[in-house]
Chain A
Amino acid sequence: MEITLPSTIPLQAYLALAAVLFCTGVWGLINSRNAVRVLMSIELMLNAVNINLMAFSSYLDGQLIRGQVFAIFVITVAAAEAAVGLAILLSLYRNRETVDMERFNLLRW
């Protein structure tokens, strides 16, 4: 059986890649004990969404490229989120002297 390679990269390849990245991010978000790693997992998920936006903008919206504009806004919001998230993490670490997610349970039932 002969495998024929596609002449151009299909849109579905980008979508599948973004799905892998997003699921990795979700798994890391649930399972990380270290708070910094949780923030890194969120960044992975945001990047997966950005790949989807860029792929759609290139394949389905080639003239207007609204997906690229949205990707730029997502990058902006992600930068703000990282700054505030790490500041919260620093002040949490100062109060609890740990970065273990299992011990940040002050508001848990």
Chain B
Amino acid sequence: MTIASTTQLICFVALSATLVLGALGVVLLPNIVYSAFLLGGVFLSVAGLYLLLNASFVAAAQVLVYVGAVNVLILFAIMLVNKKENLAAIPGLGVRRLLSGAVCGGLFVLLIRVAFTTPWALPGPEPVGEEATIRIGEHLFSDYLLPFELASVLLLMSMIGAIVLARRDVLSSDVITGEAADQGLIEKERTPLLLEKSPR
């Protein structure tokens, strides 16, 4: 066992421990702000795993898109909707948790069994290593050109859709009939998103 492979193994164990603990924290912690920050840690350790797999471009994309955009978006959403509310108790919550835990455990056993019994064609071809970025560029502009262009259309559509869904403006008159709009709607449109009456 060489020093490089030992280092690789140590890095893998540390990253996977961070990943699993962070994921459990995201799901189980009662405070959602801690969950959001742990989610950032999970994304970062996934990027570390990509670096272990010789994929520097995807690791950079992971950090930029997930940590830089998605996680920040989630934090903003938490800031906008973070109202303390006492959740009404549901009957049979414990049973539901146990049942779903059993289902997830069964799924896990199934996945592990498939992963360890399938005869993978190992060892595969020699990895390209640092040329991966060049290969990805060639793929994106040759055989994956159509999905690449469609992705840009998808991003534009989702951007416009998000703006339309999240904006809050009410026309002062009905578009079809021309009558004055409901005064309550206009009042509601002027109230700030965080209501004054909300208990903290």
Contacts A40-B35, A54-B53 given; indicate if A9 touches B27 (C-beta within 8 A).
no
Residues 177 to 196 of chain B near chain A (Cβ within 8 Å): 193, 195
Contacts of A2 in B (CB 8 A): none
Q: A21-B20, A84-B161, A97-B195 are in contact. List 18 more A-B contacts (CB 8 A).
A: A8-B5, A23-B111, A24-B23, A26-B104, A40-B74, A41-B26, A43-B43, A44-B42, A65-B135, A69-B144, A72-B58, A75-B58, A83-B73, A86-B74, A88-B165, A89-B77, A99-B83, A102-B87
CB <8 Å contact, A62 and B73: no
Contacts of A83 in B (CB 8 A): 73, 158-159, 162
Interface of B toward A, CB cutoff 8 Å: 1-2, 5, 8-9, 12, 16, 19-20, 23-24, 26-27, 32, 35-36, 39, 42-43, 46, 49-50, 52-55, 57-58, 61-62, 65-66, 69-70, 73-74, 76-78, 80-81, 83, 85, 87-88, 90, 96-97, 100-101, 103-105, 107-108, 111-112, 115-116, 120-128, 132, 135-136, 139-140, 144, 147, 151, 154-155, 157-159, 161-163, 165-166, 168, 193, 195
Interface of A toward B, CB cutoff 8 Å: 5-9, 11-17, 19-28, 30-37, 39-41, 43-44, 47, 50-51, 54-55, 57-66, 68-69, 71-73, 75-84, 86-91, 93-94, 97-100, 102
CA A21 to CA B107, docked complex, whole Å? 12
- Partner of B49 from the list A25, A51, A75 (CB cut-off 8 Å) is A51
